[in-house]
């Protein structure tokens, strides 16, 4: 991280137009003063003004200090979309502590991975959400004894209700080059890849997105996806919304039905979602009458958007469609609101900053021409140069400072980016990312399994689903695998959707498991399954 900081200074990004020399928490407090009486957050029928939010953030930060949270502490923040998330996110940064952006779906194994990698000393969660009791995680962390400061918030209360908010200490100075928060980028068992985003780089990244989206003070941004997602955090997300004095409208659950009702009720103007949600929305709009005429922009990102779906969205003529590509590690591209339909339907747009650098290379690292597909490498004012505390950084970053995205992409003559697949393995299920090797390492330890391979199988609704190929002495059922992984406390979005029994795993010429072949076999298997009996997804396939 020190190296990244020095390189950042050397590159003088700080002098570029749009760079903010402040820190996220103090900027937020300034916005709270500036937009004082405007509606800042709407949640569960409550409308809270900027001045009220500012006051609550200050109280939260004092309360956190009094509770023993300190500057530079890493704190796993695991809260759903509600007001407490906003208060903790800014409150922690105000005291110089560093939130780790966990998703509500993460379970103890993933949380322990974050704790181990970041040497986290704090954990903040809610009592329950979507049927899960977080005391299960709290108890494990207490037993583990590494995390000393734990706050479990009652879902009916504000965090400040249970904190001592009498001002006793002085707030630390926070520099724009300090780490603001750590985002997540998958990882292997017990370890996480943590992305250190600094105050300056993230404020700049967000500012560039806000400009590209022409976000305005009268915009109402509806957040259906979880707030810790990079997309929802700052592209323009809630941070961008606050920077212009707009209103953040919170949907409690990632539920399209709730979302459509909120659009109607509060006349939301701006919405970001993943393609699988957009498909669901299209279906619902066909079946029921929802008034979505207030929507000005619909952003789609996080996963591959089929052209036919993009066209259907454009044909609604209710909003401007904007395609977004982004990685939590940095680079963000977006189509222009004024782009022609042909561009918006196909491409993910251009980088938001003129200082973003893109290279498309073949497997030997040679530059490819426009129109040729290869691995996307990125560098720029807000793209990280290393993961936090990661012994394998050389694997992910080139010597000259580019981040290897693992995405396959090409650039059009006009400089528009098109993501055309993956170079490295990653399953993208409704925008959530799953690393096959992580699941394989769990499943290889399961009794009776001799060998296994995990692949992403194409799925009409979710983009991809998770298929497991298993070599075992007896038939292993899907529910057994899911139950095992649940017991191992793996996040629910990582649970496999299909299992295929095989005699052996096919190998490539160089002796690696032939995953391309498995995907083909899996697709074939699924076709047969749907002909036979879809509720019985375990099949014995011969390869
Ligand atoms: P994350 O860092 O979790 O935001 O995930 C980033 C990954 O999501 C990228 O490396 C891509 O594989 C995928 N992704 C994001 N946006 C798009 C998009 N518009 N089209 C296709 N894949 C995308």
Q: How far apart are CA 254 and CA 376, in angstroms?
A: 30
pTM for the structure as a whole: 0.93
Residues 6+ apart with CB under 8 A from 512: none
Strand partners, 221: 248, 270
pLDDT of 532 reads 38
**In angstroms, what is the span from residue 522 Cα to ligand 1's centroid?**
23
Q: Which H or E run includes 456?
A: strand 449-459
Q: Find the Cα–Cα–Cα–Cα dihedral 79, 82, 85, 86, rounded to 10°.
A: 170
Instruction: Answer yes or no: is the C-beta of 407 below 6 A from any ligand 1 atom.
Output: yes
Closest ligand 1 atom to residue 195 Cα is: 2
Q: Which of 326, 331, 396 to mutate to test the pocket of ligand 1 (most atoms within 8 A of CB)?
A: 326
Please provide the average confidence, as pLDDT, over all residues in the chain: 93
Comparing C-alpha atoms, which of 126, 83, 72 is closest to residue 102?
126
Q: How far apart are CA 128 and CA 503, in angstroms?
A: 43
Q: Which two tokens stand for residue 394?
A: 């050389």
Q: Which two tokens stand for residue 139?
A: 């108890």
What is the DSSP secondary-structure string of 386-453?
S-BT-TTHHHHB-TTS-EEEEEEEEE-TT--EEEEEESS--EEETTEEE-HHHHHHHHTTSTTEEEEE
Please answer whether residues 482 and 468 qualify as being in contact, where contact means their C-beta atoms are separated by less than 8 angstroms.
Answer: no
Q: Which two tokens stand for residue 535?
A: 């509720």
φ, ψ at 327 (rounded to 5°): -125, 145
pLDDT tens digits, 288-306: 999 999 999 999 999 999 9
Q: Which two tokens stand for residue 457?
A: 């199988």
φ, ψ at 501 (rounded to 5°): -85, 130
Q: Which H or E run includes 516?
A: helix 515-532
pLDDT tens digits, 317-326: 999 999 999 9
Q: Which two tokens stand for residue 340?
A: 């022609």
Residues 6+ apart with CB under 8 A from 523: 457, 458
How far out from the chain centre does Cα 151 lie?
23
pLDDT of 21 reads 86
**CB burial readout 241-268, b (16+ within 10 A) else e:** bbbbbbbbbbbbebebeebbebbeebeb
Instruction: Answer yes or no: is the C-beta of 301 below 6 A from any ligand 1 atom.
Output: yes
Q: Is the dihedral of CA 102, 105, 109, 110 positive or negative?
A: negative
Instruction: Answer yes or no: is the C-beta of 348 below 6 A from any ligand 1 atom.
Output: yes
**In angstroms, what is the span from residue 463 Cα to ligand 1's centroid?**
12
Closest ligand 1 atom to residue 183 Cα is: 2
Q: How far apart are CA 521 and CA 254, in angstroms?
A: 33
What pairing do the DSSP bridges indicate for beta strands 357-361 and 350-351? unpaired
Closest ligand 1 atom to residue 300 Cα is: 19
Residue with tokens 């879809």: 534
Instruction: Answer yes or no: is the C-beta of 185 below 6 A from any ligand 1 atom.
Output: yes
Residues in the chain, overall count: 543
Question: What are the strands of the beta sheet with 538-541, ordered from one edge?
Answer: 449-459, 463-472, 498-502, 538-541
- DSSP class of residue 228 equals T
Query: Which value, in Å, is the radius of gyration of the alpha carbons in the chain?
Result: 23
**In angstroms, what is the span from residue 302 Cα to ligand 1's centroid?**
4
What is the DSSP secondary-structure string of 16-78?
STT---S-HHHHHHHHHHHTTTSEEEEETTEEEEHHHHHHHHHHHHHHHHHTT--TT-EEEEE
Please answer whether residues 88 and 124 qualify as being in contact, where contact means their C-beta atoms are separated by less than 8 angstroms.
Answer: yes
Instruction: Please list the pLDDT of the chain residue by residue as tens digits (543 residues).
Output: 556 665 555 567 888 999 988 999 999 999 999 999 999 999 999 999 999 999 999 999 999 999 999 999 999 999 999 999 999 999 999 999 999 999 999 999 999 999 999 999 999 999 999 999 999 999 999 999 999 999 999 999 999 999 999 988 889 999 999 999 999 986 655 678 999 999 999 999 999 999 999 999 999 999 999 999 999 999 999 999 999 999 999 999 999 999 999 999 999 999 999 999 999 999 999 999 999 999 999 999 999 999 999 999 999 999 999 999 999 999 999 999 999 999 999 999 999 999 999 999 999 999 999 999 999 999 999 999 999 999 999 999 999 999 999 999 999 999 999 999 999 999 999 999 999 999 999 999 999 999 999 999 999 999 999 999 999 989 999 999 999 999 999 999 999 999 999 989 999 888 889 999 999 988 887 766 544 333 344 555 555
Q: How far apart are CA 476 and CA 455, in angstroms?
A: 17
């Amino acid at each position: 991280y020190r190296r990244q900081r020095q390189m950042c200074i050397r590159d003088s990004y700080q002098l570029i137009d749009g760079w903010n020399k402040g820190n996220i928490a103090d900027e937020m407090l300034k916005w709270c003063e500036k937009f004082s009486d405007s509606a800042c957050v709407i949640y569960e029928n409550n409308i809270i003004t900027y001045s009220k939010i500012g006051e609550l953030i200050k109280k939260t930060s004092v309360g956190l200090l009094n509770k023993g949270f300190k500057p530079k502490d890493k704190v796993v923040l695991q809260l759903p979309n509600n007001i407490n998330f906003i208060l903790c996110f800014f409150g922690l940064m105000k005291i110089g502590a560093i939130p780790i952006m966990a998703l509500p779906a993460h379970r103890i194994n993933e949380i322990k991975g974050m704790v181990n990698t970041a040497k986290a000393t704090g954990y903040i969660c809610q009592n329950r959400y979507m049927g899960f009791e977080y005391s299960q995680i709290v108890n494990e962390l207490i037993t583990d004894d590494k995390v000393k400061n734990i706050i479990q918030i009652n879902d009916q209360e504000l965090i400040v209700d249970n904190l001592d908010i009498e001002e006793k200490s002085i707030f630390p100075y926070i520099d724009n080059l300090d780490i603001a928060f750590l985002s997540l980028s998958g990882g292997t068992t017990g370890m996480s890849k943590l992305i250190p985003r600094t105050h300056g780089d993230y404020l700049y990244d967000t500012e560039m997105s806000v400009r590209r989206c022409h976000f305005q003070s009268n915009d109402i941004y509806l957040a259906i996806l979880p707030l810790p997602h990079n997309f929802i955090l700052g592209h323009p997300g809630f941070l961008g919304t606050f920077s212009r004095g707009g209103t953040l409208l919170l949907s409690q659950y990632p539920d399209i039905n709730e979302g459509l009702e909120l659009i109607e009720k509060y006349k939301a103007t701006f919405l970001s979602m993943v393609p699988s949600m957009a498909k669901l929305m299209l279906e619902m709009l066909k079946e029921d009458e929802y008034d979505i005429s207030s929507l000005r922009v619909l952003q789609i990102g996080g996963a591959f958007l089929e052209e036919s779906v993009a066209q259907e969205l454009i044909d609604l003529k209710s909003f401007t469609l904007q395609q977004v590509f982004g990685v939590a590690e940095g680079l963000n591209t977006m189509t222009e609101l004024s782009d022609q339909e042909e561009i918006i339907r196909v491409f993910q747009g251009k980088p938001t900053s003129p200082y973003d650098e893109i290279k498309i290379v073949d497997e030997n690292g040679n530059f490819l021409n426009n129109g040729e597909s290869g691995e996307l490498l990125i560098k720029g004012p807000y793209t990280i140069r290393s993961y936090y505390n990661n012994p394998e950084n050389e694997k992910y970053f080139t010597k000259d400072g580019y981040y290897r995205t693992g995405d396959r992409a090409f650039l059009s003559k006009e400089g528009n980016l098109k993501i055309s697949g993956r170079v490295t393995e990653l399953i993208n299920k409704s925008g959530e990312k799953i690393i096959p090797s992580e699941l394989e390492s769990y499943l290889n330890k399961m009794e009776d399994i001799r060998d296994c391979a995990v692949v992403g199988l194409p799925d009409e609704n979710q983009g991809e689903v998770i298929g497991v190929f298993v070599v075992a002495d007896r038939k292993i059922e899907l529910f057994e695998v899911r139950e095992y992984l649940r017991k191992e406390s793996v996040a629910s979005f990582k649970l496999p959707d299909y299992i295929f029994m095989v005699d052996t795993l096919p190998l490539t010429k160089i002796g690696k498991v032939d995953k391309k072949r498995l995907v083909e076999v899996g697709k074939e298997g699924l076709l047969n399954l749907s002909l036979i009996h879809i509720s019985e997804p375990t099949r014995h396939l011969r390869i």
